[in-house]
Chain A
Amino acid sequence: MDDLGFILGSYVVTFGSISLYVASVVRRSRRAGRDVPREQRPWT
């Protein structure tokens, strides 16, 4: 495969950026969740 670097790079960019976004969402929700009692969360 001549273009292996570009092909692998596209998968790394795709799933790497999604992983970073997931980590950011989890971090922000945990931070906000510290101050909100569980019984006030409509989805629980």
Chain B
Amino acid sequence: MTTTSERNVTGTSFTRGLGIVTLLGIVLLVVLGLFVSPADVNQGESVRIMYAHVPGAWLAYLAFVVTGISSAAYLWKRTRSLTWDRIAGASAEVGVLFMGISLVTGSLWGRITWGTYWTWDARLTTTAFLFVTYVGYLAVRGLGGSHHQRARRSAVLALLAVLEIPLVHFSVRLWNTLHQEASVAGRGTDVTMDGLMLFSLFLGVIVFTLMYVWLVLHRQRALALQDMVEDSGLDAALAARRAEAVV
């Protein structure tokens, strides 16, 4: 058995290396984002919030797409495995975290630029709806039942929820909205950002991606441990009942 003093339960040499690189990336991102990159011609100093806001939103999308793909992999009989379900759950949890960060940082940016923390604009409203949907997904995962019952119902929900992502992404084109269109990967992309600003933004995306991988690896391993503990508890309870029946 393991000891209670064990510190690194879900880590491997790969995740430790990844963690160190991610931490260094975070330090570089903060230095570049807050001190080195220039102020924007239109947004002024508030553009610094974008280096956390934009990567948070993109990685939340990625996390929810991974949840959808993993859920499909679980539902497909050939690849059915609880590992897919745990990856889906872990990815959704990290996605909710990043989406929450994106909403809060966007709200702070909106206060500076628009003069209000919140407005019922198309992009903001659909993003909030996406956030609430995945909070609901996590709540559904927490309902009772066997591991496979949990996996099946949450996989179906994830496949429905992922359909909201295009709606959120294209909301800025479908409706009149305060939120600007994509600055880097938009229609007929003609990037006019300062090189250092663009570098800071891409660094943010890379750092958030590394964080995402690190968090999902650890969280899905923690979920595997929790499932093992529940299974061993069930086995022990069954053994106890059988012993009582014999007596």
- Chain A residues within CB distance 8 Å of chain B: 1-4, 6-11, 13-15, 17-18, 21-22, 25-26, 28-30, 32-38, 40-44
Interface flag for B45 (CB, 8 Å) = yes
Question: Closest chain A residue to B111 by CB distance?
Answer: A6
- A-chain residues with CB within 8 Å of residue B225 when the two chains form the complex: 29, 32-33, 36, 41
Choose among A13, A14, A35, A36 the residue with the greatest number of B CB atoms under 10 Å from its CB: A14
> What's the Cα separation between A22 and B17 when bound, in Å?
16
Please tell me if B33 contacts chain A, counting CB pairs below 8 Å. yes
Beta-carbon contact of A30 and B215 below 8 Å: no
Distance of A24 Cα from B100 Cα, bound (Å): 16
Q: Which of A7, A18, A33 contacts B46 (CB 8 A)?
A: A7
Which A residues are CB-close (under 8 A) to B172? none
Contacting pair A29 B218 (CB below 8 A): yes
A9 to B101 Cα, complex, angstroms: 11
- A18 contacts B211, CB within 8 Å? yes
Query: How far, in Å, is B228 (CB) from chain A's closest CB?
Result: 5
Majority DSSP secondary structure for residues of B touching A: helix
- List the A side residues contacting B108 at CB < 8 Å: 6-7, 9-10, 13
Interface with A: B48-56, B162-170, B185-193, which one?
B48-56
Q: Report 9 cross-chain contacts, Cβ distance below 8 Å, ordered by A residue.
A: A3-B45, A4-B45, A6-B49, A6-B111, A7-B46, A18-B101, A29-B221, A32-B225, A41-B225
In the complex, which of the residues A7, A9, A22, A35 contacts B232, with contact meaning CB atoms closer than 8 Å? A35
Q: Do residues B2 and A34 form an inter-chain contact, with CB atoms below 8 A? A: yes
CB-contacts of B140-196 with A (<8 A) = none
The reply to whether A28 and B46 contact each other, CB–CB distance below 8 Å, is: no
Contact with A along B1-43 (1 / 0, CB 8 A): 1101011011010000000000000100010011000000000
B10 touches A10 (CB 8 A): no
Apart from A18-B211, A29-B218, 12 more pairs, CB < 8 Å = A6-B49, A6-B112, A7-B34, A21-B215, A25-B10, A28-B226, A32-B222, A35-B228, A36-B229, A41-B225, A42-B224, A43-B221
A10-B211 CB under 8 A given contacts A29-B10, A29-B218, A43-B10: no
C-alpha gap A7/B37 in the complex (Å): 14
Q: Among the listed A17, A34, A40, which residue makes an inter-chain contact with B101, where contact means beta carbons less than 8 Å apart?
A: A17
In contact, B228 and A40 (Cβ under 8 angstroms): yes
In the complex, what residue of chain A is closest to B106 when comparing beta carbons? A10
Contact B229 A6, beta carbon cutoff 8 Å: no
Q: In the complex the two chains form, is B52's CB within 8 Å of A14's CB?
A: yes
B70 at the interface (CB under 8 A from A): no
* Chain A residue contacts of B104, Cβ below 8 A: 10, 13
| Interface: B109 (CB within 8 A) | yes
